[in-house]
Chains A and B, each alone.
Chain A
């Protein structure tokens, strides 16, 4: 027997066990218990909470100005008196800047996720459920957008709208919308074959009502899980674009911009780029772990799709 068949059996067994458990203790508690048991998710959540906490509570506690320059205290190493993570080439406090940078990253990620989730869900559901020429049109546009490298789209947007976070959010949101719409469409196509949709149709429900009451609740969990995967994509893209100067503009502190500022001083103060760089990696890692964990908890079938988005 091949490995693949084995995994299917395991998945089936697990789903059966999950079903029985949710019958016993109720669906909400069963889901929550599963979340706690998932070590990846737990680790990712703890890591994420630490980074998030640093981003949101950090600046409030210190109350310091991220752009305050102090030329008598440049290039301090981490652990210096009054500058927990040291200072950069202008003597600005690294800790405060990293905290605000996390906030900027998360704001971009939130904007991108809202845009891509909203439009991706609507487009994917319309294409998958309505079919026909609407499906062909939406699919044509979505496949076209999806075929472009994210960074190239963002550079084109920056070329049209100027540099800044707004074009970055639009560009990344656009490409992620296409990615989410593709998967949602596929899910809707397979859901439309199921008996409950058939039953709703036979019962004479209108198309909008079937889509809203019967398809939407079934599609929401996998879409949210998928969106969490694209949060990581958005964070990396924002950092990369800020790094090459097309994202956040000074004086707004952003993690990518800080890595870029620090790279001219690698030989005297490697910390200046290392600290924001490690922060980006931690942020991305925690978001990916949360995404992977959520996927395992809510929808084991999505495992292949989230990993294989690029391979279709």
Chain B
């Protein structure tokens, strides 16, 4: 358990794997550099605990009667999750304000902010 009793855990899910279409390599690099700076700042402020991009590969397992494993259509999708950040901040409003700084937003990405139920679960610290 964390000593910070006044903060709560949240996950930011970055949605949209096609935000970079139509952008030049330089524009992508600029955006990614802003993204790294943003994440570094959140980490140094003690707000970001863990965060990683996901590849556009992957599979979906489902099936009420036996397993169906299909290749996920994760490219060219506005809904697909492209990465995540685990946050610890005061409340949902604080998490929402912080998510509005996401550099991918003005290229069509969206950010989902969800409170984490901490009592059931593990990690990251």
Physical interaction between A and B: no
Residues of B within 8 A of A (CB): none
